[in-house]
Structure 1
Amino acid sequence: MVRAWSRPGPWKRGPLLAVSALLLGLLLLLHGRITDRGGLGSLVETFLPWFGVFVPVLLAGAVWRRSASATVALLLPATVWLSLFGGLLGDRSHAGGDLVVAGHNVGADNPDPAGTARDLAASGADVLALEEITAQARPVYEKGLAKAYRHHTVLGTVGLWSRLPLSDVRPVDIETDYGPLAETRSAADRLPSNRALRATVATSRGPLAVYVAHLGSVRVMPGTGFWTSSRDRNAQALARAVAAEPNGRVVLLGDLNGTTDDRALAGLTARLRSAQDEAGKGFGFTWPATFPVARIDQILVRGVRPASAWVLPPTGSDHRPVAAALTW
């Protein structure tokens, strides 16, 4: 009898679970205030949706411990997560679309560029943007895509293929700098310097400005943390170019090496809308191709409306292609 009366009540059980739930909720609620020293804030925001996994884990612990305090505390992270990402769980697509665009980081180490070209040619895209094109693979893509696309341009490592005429093609200087990665660059980082272009696509509804970009890499570096300096500087330069774009209709396709939750892309996401967020199904993760955990390949728009957005099947690249149907 004494032992029964000495047991803690449901509101006193599981204090560690309750504290953990509150900390999780605060992290989700105040992630924008996390210091970005060492890229910590950027790293958290890249994988922010995955913090929701801890909610059912903590809930299972609360049920096992029969902790009322932990169960109530879990209302905070659950509510915040749903407010941030609940709208992405359903299907937001609509029928129709005037133009289909697609983008793909084809991978500098892609073992089968010819197969990738065949897959992309069969995608049905009217406008196709490629990133990470090597000098060796460029003729393979040009040959494989020639029948499906009459018009194309390649500047450095990025290219644009289109069924519609292209004009006013020019490089966009995004100031790539490898910093501490200079001595340990991957094959992708050793590609020629131009990693962004701008072109005008002549559609039946008028000119459409299309940007193709591959922002700098991010790396987990011993001693320095999550290194994002090159990517961040590229994003700022690209945001300035988009801000100065006189055409009201803009599409940006590219490997931005960051999610739309990442503060580093705020200059772009403040001016452009995500086709996936607006008209996709689910989160649309694209990287790595074998088991995607983040969407770093983006289609961002201004002046046009995404009717639907989707992720294409994997190719020989370590990224998955993305596509969207746009309407005026």
Structure 2
Amino acid sequence: MRAVCRPGPWKRGRVLAASALLLGLLMLLHARITDRGGLGSLVETFLPWFGLFIPVLLAGALWRRAASAVVALLLPVVVWLNLFGGLLGDKSHPGGDLTVAEHNVGAGNPDPLGTARDLAGTGSDVLALVELTEQARGTYEKELAKAYPYHTVLGTVGLWSKLPLSDTRPVDIKQDVGPLGDTKPADVKLSYNRALRTTVATHQGPLAVYVAHLGSVRLMPRGGFWTDSRDRNAQALGAAVAAERNKRVVLLGDLNGTMDDHAFADISSRMRSAQDEAGKGFGFTWPAKLPVARIDQILVRGVQPESSWVLPATGSDHLPVAARISW
């Protein structure tokens, strides 16, 4: 009876080795994935989570004693660490001249009063709110008035400040109705102006502040990941930032996407993420109960982020974010 020859360690686990190489190439070349049907945006939104496949493939390789698969895993490990390894440590520094914060307060927020009081207690110098409804606007204005003597609201976005504001104007971001229509409750009224630009008079000089809430994103049973409105909004916002003459700029908002998404190239090429440069961890903000993506952003140009963090949950389905910046 002829003995069955078992393949050697370098010939075992070819499927695992191929899977590891494909995973590494997927992360390495994510910016080249087609965005037809929103595929590229979908991959890039959850790009950090692709690292979870690495220990799964490693366990399979060790179980099969497949040396080729273990070696192939070096590619996704190196790529993931290159992309996200810098986020694992604490890059914050003490000090800073100004604290800014942003929060999508949620059109369906059942407790705007509690949310307003939580935000007033953050001690931020500048506070941006998006997804404001006509019903809840008065609550925020009343509860934040004592901590923030200056404020401006245009449509669904607003800025509250301890410092004077001037030269406030809307940013032309058109909001389209998505493929599912308006998913807000029928009794909730939203204005369609979703971005503004204003100047904050700081002790170090004028600071241009943009507040934006980009278009919604939908995961469709048919048609894939719908990002058309968001992408058009991002291009319009990128053009506004490019035309900004003030050297010091801060962008606060719910961009409905992560900065890994190449749809934000016009913005990310001109601004830096406070969380990436001065935060600790990934800074995930949505959904509030189980955050898996950072779609609420604080981006800067001409100022230095010293620290960045995620604030505790409120009644919204997003978490607030804050950053300390200096000149």
TM-score grouping bracket, smaller chain normalisation: over 0.9
**What pairs up with 1:295-310 in 2 under 5 angstroms?**
295-310=294-309
Is this contact kept in 1: 2:134–2:189, CA < 8 A?
no
Q: Give the secondary structure class of the aligned counterpart of 1:220.
A: strand
- Where in structure 1 do 4 or more consecutive aligned residues deviate above 6 Å? none
The Cα of 1:242 is off from its aligned counterpart by 0.6
1:124 aligns with 2:142: no
* TM-score for the superposition, normalised by structure 2: 0.97
Residue correspondence of structure 1 range 141-180 to structure 2 within 5 A: 141-180=140-179
The residue type paired with residue 282 of structure 1 is: G
Counterpart Cα distance in 1 of 2:288 and 2:164: 32
Deviation for aligned residue 1:176: 1.3
What SS does structure 1 have at the residue aligned with 2:129? Answer: strand
CA deviation after TM superposition for structure 1 residue 178, in Å: 1.9
Aligned to 2:113: 114
Q: Which deviations, in whole Å up to 9, do the C-alpha atoms of 1:18-39 show, x marking residues without a partner?
A: 1110110110111111111000
Deviations 1:62-113 (A, max 9, x none): 1111110100000000011111111111001000000000000000000100
Q: How many residues get paired?
A: 326
Q: Which amino acid aligns with 2:266?
A: G
Q: Classify the secondary structure of the residue corresponding to 2:282.
A: coil
Question: What are the residue-to-residue correspondences of 1:19-168 with 2, within 5 Å?
Answer: 19-168=18-167
Q: Is 2:135–2:189's contact at 8 Å kept on the other side of the alignment?
A: no
1:95, 1:9 → 2: CA distance? 55
- Counterpart of 2:183 in structure 1 is 185
- Aligned equivalents of 1:179 and 1:56: distance in 2? 38
Q: Aligned ranges for residues 196-275 of structure 1 at < 5 Å?
A: 196-275=195-274
**Paired residues for 1:283-294 under 5 Å:** 283-294=282-293
How far apart are 1:187 and its partner, in Å?
Answer: 4.4
* CA distance in structure 1 between the aligned counterparts of 2:274 and 2:189, rounded to whole angstroms: 30
SS at match of 1:180: coil
Query: Residue type matched to 2:220 in 1?
Result: M
Q: What SS does the corresponding residue of 2:135 show, helix, strand or coil?
A: coil
What 5-or-longer segments of structure 1 have no aligned partner?
A: none
Greater shift, 57-66 or 99-108, is seen at 57-66
CA distance in 2, matches of 1:163, 1:174: 27
Q: Which amino acid aligns with 1:290?
A: K
1:288-320 Cα deviation digits (max 9, x unpaired): 000100000000000000000000001000000
SS of equivalent to 1:309: strand
Q: Take 1:58 and 1:190, find their aligned partners in 2: how far apart are those partners?
A: 49
Q: Write the distance in 1 (CA, Å) between the matches of 2:236 and 2:177.
A: 15
Over 3 Å counting, the alpha-carbon distance change for 1:190 and 1:181 in structure 2 is farther
Displacement of 1:186:
3.1
Q: State the SS of the aligned residue for 1:43.
A: helix
Q: Percent identity?
A: 76
